[in-house]
Amino acid sequence: MSKPAIKAEGLVKSFGATQVLRGIGFEVAPGEVFSLLGPNGAGKTTTVNICATLVRPDAGRVSVGGFDVTRQPGRVRAAISLTGQFAAVDGLLTGRENLVLMAKLRGLKRGRELAADLLDRFGLAAAADRRADTYSGGMVRRLDVAMSLVGDPAVIFLDEPTTGLDPEGRLEVWRTVEQLAAGGAAIFLTTQYLDEAERLASHLAILREGRIVADGTLTELKQMFPPAQKEYVEKQPSLEDVFLAIVGETGQTGQAGQTRKAGQAGETGKNREERRPT
Amino acid sequence: MKTLRDTAALLGRSMRHIARSPDTIITVTIMPIMMMLLFVYVFGGAIETGAANYIDSLWPGIALIAIATGVSYTAVRIFFDKQKGLFARFRSMPVARPAILWEPVLTAVVSNAVSVAVIGLAAALMGFRPRANLAGWLIAAGVLALFTVALAWLAVIPGLVAKSVDGATAFSYPLIFLPFISSAFVPTATMPGPVRAFAEHQPVTAIIDTLRALLAGQPPGSAVVSALAWCVGLAAVAHGAAVMVYRRL
């Protein structure tokens, strides 16, 4: 087992009288996509902010990339990138300028080359020299994600990266996450969408009222619940089925009828589904 | 070294903001120019300052009002960077900590220098005739820059803590008002006792007396010491407070 990319132990954090985290711990390995799930206000963003050196924990320890977040924040910052809930791009700068700025702030040379490469990868080459405030929501988010990849950080925090994205934009972010994890980066993903976590995460934890109530792989989490049960639901034929059965079979219908029937076949499959008792 | 490099990188971004969105500078210059017109062509005839040319004695006060207006944009810039998440992005990156706050402060110095220069040109059209030598100009520019730095550090605090844009700019109103209770527009000797005492001992009067003397080509005397002490003192206190607020974010 390699050294963990993130290791948190006994994290406690309160804001005023509200106790947000009540002693949580978890480990994320390099190349792993770790997804922290939980309802709004469960403490997901606070956990990300502590790991990303933005918020100091009241108690507990976190090491990221082997460095302690409170004692060596500078080393941690050099190893991470953070994509927050709001696309943090400078609207008055062009996409290219935003990326070059990131390279400068990370002390990298060849910022323009890096920027050109990322613009290509994220399908922003055509809009590279337009101000980012003229971009669509999906483009801004792509630029935002691209900006956090400048300098190949070893640990990437993505705090609800697909909120407000159209389905195509979501898919693009998903593909990027998969590529990054395949490249060996550790990814800490928070999301509202369970399908997103199910698709991307190799390791999940569920946060509830400041505590982690479940932690494991998707298979492990599924095993914590009673086994899947098959339920058979009697399917009543619809008028359309009846109609198609009568008309369609005799070969009297045209092309439209055939297409309709093909579509319908997919639908019927859904009537028999796996259900879990809740 | 790293602090300088990071500050330069961040400053490059805000210089582009100024170049691409000059509306802030225009907004900042309009009100002071209107006031200049009002004081010179409407009130000026009734104000007895003893100066041969009223606009020469009026101009420093107008410049300070412009700077006080201008720094409210420092708070606004920080507020929006914070709201958009850019601030968190910079803070989570290996960026030298001082660079993150010096960027808006130095941006204020540049944008206010442009505003003050524009107001100076407008004043020149209205008969403003400074007679300062090179040293006098440099000292005057230095005093204005220091005043800007002090007020900009003050502006960082509401920029960091405000919950709304209005909250971020509210601090600047008393600052804009301060020159009125000073030697900027009328001689302090004409004011009633307590007001006069305040006017003669507040920083703006020392700064205005310094600028007036320098621009008239005269030695500023002890006023320059007092003006510099006020600016440096205020900048140090505001800087300390701003850094404290920043650390608690």
pLDDT tens column, A27-65: 999 999 999 998 888 889 999 999 999 999 999 999 999
CA angle B230, B36, B115 (to 5 degrees): 60
ipTM for the whole complex: 0.88
pLDDT of amino acid A249: 57
pLDDT of amino acid B155: 95
A204: left (phi over 0), alpha (psi -120 to 50) or beta: beta
DSSP H or E run through A188: strand A186-190
Q: Cβ B5–A52 below 8 Å, yes or no?
A: no
Residue A157 CA to residue A189 CA, distance in Å, equals 6
Residue A57 CA to residue A47 CA, distance in Å, equals 9
pLDDT band at A2 (very low <50, low <70, confident <90, very high): low
Least CB-CB distance to B88: which of A82, A90, A107? A82
Smallest CA–CA distance from B99 into chain A, residue: A105
Q: What is the mean pLDDT of chain A?
A: 84
pLDDT band at A258 (very low <50, low <70, confident <90, very high): very low
pLDDT of amino acid A213: 87
User: How many CB atoms are located within 10 Å of the residue B187 CB?
Assistant: 15
Question: Of residues A7 and A142, which shows the higher confidence score?
Answer: A7
pLDDT tens column, A187-207: 999 988 888 898 999 999 998
Residue B139 CA to residue B134 CA, distance in Å, equals 9
Residues of chain B with pLDDT under 50: none
Domains of chain B by residue range:
2-247
- For the domain bounded by A6-91+154-223, which CATH number is listed? 3.40.50.300
Largest pairwise CA distance in chain B: 59
Least CB-CB distance to B88: which of A84, A91, A131? A84
Domains of chain A by residue range:
6-91+154-223, 239-275
Has residue A186 got a pLDDT over 80? yes
Has residue A254 got a pLDDT over 60? no
Least CB-CB distance to A101: which of B9, B83, B94? B9
C-alpha distance from B84 to closest chain A C-alpha (Å) = 6
From residue A223, how far is each of A202, A275, B173, B239 by CA, in Å?
15, 15, 63, 56
Chain A contact set for B20 (CB, 8 A) = 92, 131
Cα B90 off chain centre by: 26
C-alpha distance from A127 to closest chain B C-alpha (Å) = 18
Average pLDDT over residues A167-194: 87
Smallest CA–CA distance from A75 into chain B, residue: B94
Contact indicator for B56, B136 with CB cutoff of 8 Å: no
Question: Of residues B238 and A167, which shows the higher confidence score?
Answer: B238
pLDDT of amino acid A250: 52
Residue B102 CA to residue B143 CA, distance in Å, equals 18
Closest listed residue to residue B10, CA positions, set B85, B84, B81, B115:
B81
CA angle B12, B17, B23 (to 5 degrees): 150
Q: Cβ B9–A81 below 8 Å, yes or no?
A: no
Give the mutation candidate from A72, A104, A112 for the B interface (greatest B CB count, under 10 A).
A104
Residue A119 CA to residue A141 CA, distance in Å, equals 13
